């Protein structure tokens, strides 16, 4: 298994998608926006980014499977290797001209994420990680933070697609606000996870995400010396995430247990 080769593919794919996002930023017209569901949008840019990424990855690894947010599964569906891609995480930010959005590319072997990259185009920040290889930002190794709790900033995301969960979520949000120095909501889970791995944020929690939102990010967290679990304490990618350094993760996990379980 050539982890370094897989990391390189992930990096190149993420940057390739990021170039598409940069080229088309602030060109989206109202008629370019489609509704996938209530408060859930897609544009031709999401689709173009995914097409370019898929074509590139399957040209390099034709024996692999590919899972993209927009078009689902393609490639060799029987492969033990599957690429998991969000071609534009933060579509609403992108549509509105807010520069915080990202491309997320991860490779899963069976049920284990072994390589991944996240690219934030407008900040030109390329994060990558490989299983057992560490986590990096633009070539420099990164680590999760070790700030005291009263200085810690937590990132989160609101369950905007699930109005029935808002009251429950707000209990956790309130506890986090009281416990930590501040809470931030940038609007793209891949960005939140990458910046938690970098130590900009000290922890992150969110509910009801998709696999492509978090696959690369959770590997970054672990390879940066942090901890990732779902709300039940396992590493299953079920869409519910608690992540951060060991100390912050434990406190956040306790908050989740008291409020969201």
For position 37, which CATH number holds?
A: 3.30.540.10
Residues 128, 160, single domain; the answer is no
Residues 169, 125, single domain; the answer is no
Annotated binding site: 69, 86, 88-89, 213
The CATH number given to whatever domain includes residue 211 is: 3.40.190.80
pLDDT band at residue 119 under the 50/70/90 scheme: very high
pLDDT band at residue 71 under the 50/70/90 scheme: confident
Residues 40, 123, single domain; the answer is yes
Which pLDDT belongs to residue 39? Answer: 56
Residues 8, 126, single domain; the answer is yes
Residues 220, 196, single domain; the answer is yes
Q: How far out from the chain centre does Cα 36 lie?
A: 20
Higher pLDDT, 195 or 160: 195
Residues 169, 247, single domain; the answer is yes
Measure CA of the first residue to CA of the last residue in the chain; give whole Å: 38
The string of DSSP letters for 175-212 reads HHHHHSSEEE--S-HHHHHHHHHHTSSSEEEESS--HH
Provide the domain count of the chain: 2
Domain boundary among 111, 141, 171: 141
Residues 38, 132, single domain; the answer is yes
Annotated binding site for Mg(2+): 69, 86, 88-89, 213
Which pLDDT belongs to residue 83? Answer: 98
pLDDT band at residue 165 under the 50/70/90 scheme: confident
Domain that holds residue 19: 3-141
Domain boundary among 141, 170, 203: 141
pLDDT band at residue 40 under the 50/70/90 scheme: low
Residues 105, 184, single domain; the answer is no
Q: What is the pTM of this model?
A: 0.95
**Inter-CA distances, 90 with 8, 186, 190, Å:** 24, 9, 9
Mean of per-residue pLDDT scores for the chain: 94
Residues 194, 128, single domain; the answer is no
Q: 164: which residues sit within 8 A by CB, 6+ positions away?
A: none
Domain boundary among 117, 141, 165: 141
Q: What is the pLDDT of residues 208-252, one digit of tens each?
A: 999 999 999 999 999 999 999 999 999 999 999 999 999 999 999
Residues 12, 126, single domain; the answer is yes
Residues 48, 165, single domain; the answer is no
Residues 115, 25, single domain; the answer is yes
């Amino acid at each position: 298994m050539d982890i370094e080769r897989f990391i390189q593919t992930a990096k190149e794919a993420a940057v390739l998608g990021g170039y598409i996002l940069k080229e088309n930023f602030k060109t989206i017209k109202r008629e370019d926006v489609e509704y996938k569901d209530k408060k859930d949008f897609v544009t031709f840019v999401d689709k173009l980014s995914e097409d370019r990424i898929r074509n590139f990855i399957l040209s390099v690894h034709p024996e692999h499977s590919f899972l993209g947010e927009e078009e689902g599964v393609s490639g060799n569906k029987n492969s033990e290797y599957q690429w998991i891609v969000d071609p534009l995480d933060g579509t609403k930010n992108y549509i509105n001209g807010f520069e915080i959005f990202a491309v997320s590319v991860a490779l899963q072997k069976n049920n284990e994420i072994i390589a991944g990259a996240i690219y934030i185009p407008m900040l030109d920040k390329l994060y990558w990680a490989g299983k057992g290889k560490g986590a990096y930002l633009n070539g420099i190794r990164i680590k999760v933070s070790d700030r005291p709790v009263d200085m810690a900033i937590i990132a989160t995301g609101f369950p905007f697609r699930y109005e029935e969960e808002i009251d429950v979520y707000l209990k956790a949000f309130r506890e986090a606000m009281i416990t930590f120095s501040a809470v931030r909501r940038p609007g793209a889970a891949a960005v939140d996870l990458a910046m938690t791995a970098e130590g900009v944020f000290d922890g992150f929690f969110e509910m009801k995400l998709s696999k492509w939102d978090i696959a690369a990010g959770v590997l970054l967290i672990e390879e940066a010396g942090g901890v990732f679990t779902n709300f039940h304490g396992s590493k299953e990618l079920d869409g519910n995430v608690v992540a951060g350094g060991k100390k912050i993760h434990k406190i956040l996990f306790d908050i989740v247990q008291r409020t969201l379980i």
